C-alpha cells in the first residue's frame, strides 16, 4: 500500500498537480510514520455503546420480576429523552449533503438513543401488546424512526439499523449471516422479496445521486443490496428446475456486472471483493449444474487433476484482480 501511495504522489507531481515543495512535504510527513488512534478510539466508543445497550438488556432480563415493567420503561424513556435532547441541541439540522457533529461523540449518542428506542418499542409490544396483533408495526415504527435519525443526524450506523429493520418488516433478516439461515428453499416468495428489496436499495442510490441527497450513504445501501441480491439469487440457482436456475444465473451475471462497475465508481474495495466472491460461487454452481449429468466414470482421473488447478487458478486470478483494483483506484 505504501508503494502505491508513493507512486500516486509521484504521478501527481509529474502531472503538475502539486508543486515540488508540496511533494517534499508529503514525503517528509510520511517518513514520520505517525500512527493515528482515531479509528481505534471510534471502535472503543462503538464497543462501549454495544456493551451499554447489551447491559441494559441483561439487566432487564435478570431483574424483570423485581424491578417492574413500569420502572424499566420509565428508565429507558428517560435515557432516550436525554440522549435525543443533546443530539437535537447540537445538531445542525437536516441537510441534503454530509453534515457532521462538531463533537464525534454525539454520533454515538445518536446510535445509543436509536438502539434504546428500538428496545423501548419492542418491550412495549412484548409486554403490553401496544399494537395488538399487528406485530409488523412493532418493527415498522422503529424502522421509520431509524431512517429519520439516519438522515436528520447523518448517521451511517443508524442507517444500517433502519435497513435491517426494513428487511425484518418484509419478513427476513438482512445481515449476511442471517440471510444464510433464511429458509429460501421452502419459501420461494421470501427470496423474491429479498431480490426486490435489494434492487430497490440499488435504485434508491441512483435516485439519491440525481437529487444529491446524502450521496455518501451510497456505500451502505450498495453493500446491503449486494449481499441481499447475491445470496437470494445463489440460493435459487440450486433449484431443481433447469430453466429456473438458468434465469437466476443470468440475474447473478447482471448483478455482478453492475456491482463490479459501481465498485470502481465509488472506489470501494469491500464491494469489489464481495462481488468477485459471489460471482465465483455463482460460476462454480453454474459449472456444477452443467456437468452434473455428465458421466465422469471414464474421465475421473482427468477431473481430479483439473479440480486443484481450477482452485489454484481462481486464487491467483483473485489476487491479481485485487492488485489491479488497488492500482486503478489509487490513480
Q: Locate cell 425484518: which residue? A: 168
More confident residue, 181 or 107: 107
**Cell numbers placing 212:** 444529491
Residues in the chain: 331
The C-alpha atoms of residue 328 and residue 331 are separated, in whole angstroms, by 6
Bigger pLDDT: 199 or 63?
Answer: 199
* pLDDT band, residue 210 (cuts 50/70/90): very high
Residues 6+ apart with CB under 8 A from 255: 226, 229, 230, 233
Report how far residue 11's alpha carbon sits from residue 195's, in angstroms, rounded to the nearest whole number: 42
Rg (CA), the chain: 25
Terminal alpha carbon distance of the chain: 13
Decide: 70 and 120 in contact? Cβ < 8 Å: no
Structural domain boundaries of the chain?
1-34, 40-151
Question: 152 CB contacts (<8 Å, ≥6 apart)?
Answer: 91, 93, 94
Share of the chain above pLDDT 90, in %: 33
User: Rounded distance, CA 192 to CA 306, Å?
Assistant: 36
Identify the CA nearest to 227 among candidates 267, 183, 277: 277
Residue 324, C-alpha cell as written in the block: 489491479
- Cell representation of residue 111: 446510535
3 state SS of 96: coil
Range ranked top by mean pLDDT from 20-34, 126-140, 219-233, 301-315: 219-233
Contacts of 67 (CB under 8 A, 6+ apart): 59, 60
Burial of 153 (0-12, 13-18, 19+ CB in 10 A): buried
Q: Please give the pLDDT value at position 84.
A: 94
pLDDT in tens, 55-76: 777 777 676 666 777 888 888 8
Residue with the bigger pLDDT between 116 and 184: it is 116
Handedness of CA 42, 163, 248, 234 (dihedral sign): positive
| Residue 39: pLDDT band with limits 50, 70, 90 | low
CB 114 within 8 A of CB 156: no
Residue 14 has pLDDT above 80, yes or no: no
Other CB atoms closer than 10 Å to residue 304's CB: what's the count? 10
Q: What is the pLDDT of residue 144?
A: 94
Q: What is the pLDDT of residue 174?
A: 45
Amino acid at each position: 500500500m505504501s508503494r502505491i501511495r508513493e507512486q500516486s504522489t509521484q504521478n501527481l507531481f509529474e502531472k503538475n498537480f502539486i508543486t515540488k515543495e508540496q511533494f517534499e512535504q508529503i514525503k517528509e510527513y510520511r517518513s514520520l510514520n505517525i500512527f493515528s488512534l482515531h479509528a481505534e478510539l471510534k471502535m472503543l466508543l462503538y464497543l462501549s455503546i454495544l456493551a451499554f445497550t447489551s447491559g441494559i438488556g441483561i439487566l432487564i432480563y435478570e431483574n424483570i420480576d423485581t424491578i417492574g415493567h413500569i420502572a424499566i420503561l420509565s428508565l429507558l424513556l428517560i435515557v432516550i429523552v436525554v440522549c435525543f435532547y443533546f443530539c437535537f441541541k447540537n445538531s445542525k439540522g437536516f441537510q441534503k449533503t454530509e453534515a457532521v457533529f462538531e463533537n464525534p461523540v454525539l454520533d454515538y449518542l445518536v446510535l445509543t438513543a436509536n438502539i434504546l428506542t428500538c428496545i423501548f418499542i419492542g418491550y412495549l409490544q412484548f409486554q403490553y401488546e401496544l399494537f395488538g396483533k399487528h406485530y409488523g408495526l412493532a418493527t415498522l415504527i422503529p424502522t421509520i424512526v431509524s431512517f429519520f435519525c439516519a438522515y436528520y443526524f447523518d448517521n451511517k450506523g443508524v442507517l444500517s439499523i433502519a435497513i435491517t429493520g426494513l428487511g425484518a418488516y418484509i419478513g427476513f433478516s438482512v445481515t449476511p449471516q442471517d440471510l444464510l439461515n433464511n429458509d429460501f428453499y421452502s419459501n420461494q416468495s421470501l427470496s423474491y422479496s429479498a431480490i426486490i428489496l435489494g434492487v430497490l436499495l440499488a435504485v434508491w442510490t441512483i435516485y439519491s445521486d440525481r437529487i444529491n441527497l446524502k450521496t455518501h450513504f451510497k456505500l451502505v445501501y450498495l453493500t446491503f443490496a449486494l449481499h441481499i441480491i447475491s445470496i437470494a439469487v445463489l440460493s435459487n440457482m440450486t433449484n431443481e428446475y433447469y430453466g429456473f436456475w438458468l434465469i437466476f444465473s443470468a440475474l447473478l451475471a447482471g448483478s455482478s456486472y453492475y456491482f463490479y462497475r459501481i465498485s470502481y465508481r465509488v472506489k470501494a474495495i469491500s464491494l469489489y471483493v464481495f462481488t468477485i466472491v459471489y460471482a465465483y460461487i455463482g460460476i462454480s454452481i453454474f459449472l456444477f449444474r452443467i456437468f452434473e449429468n455428465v458421466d465422469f466414470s471414464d474421465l475421473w482421473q482427468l477431473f481430479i487433476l483439473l479440480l486443484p488447478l481450477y482452485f489454484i487458478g481462481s486464487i491467483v486470478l483473485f489476487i491479481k484482480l485485487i492488485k489491479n483494483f488497488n492500482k486503478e483506484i489509487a490513480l
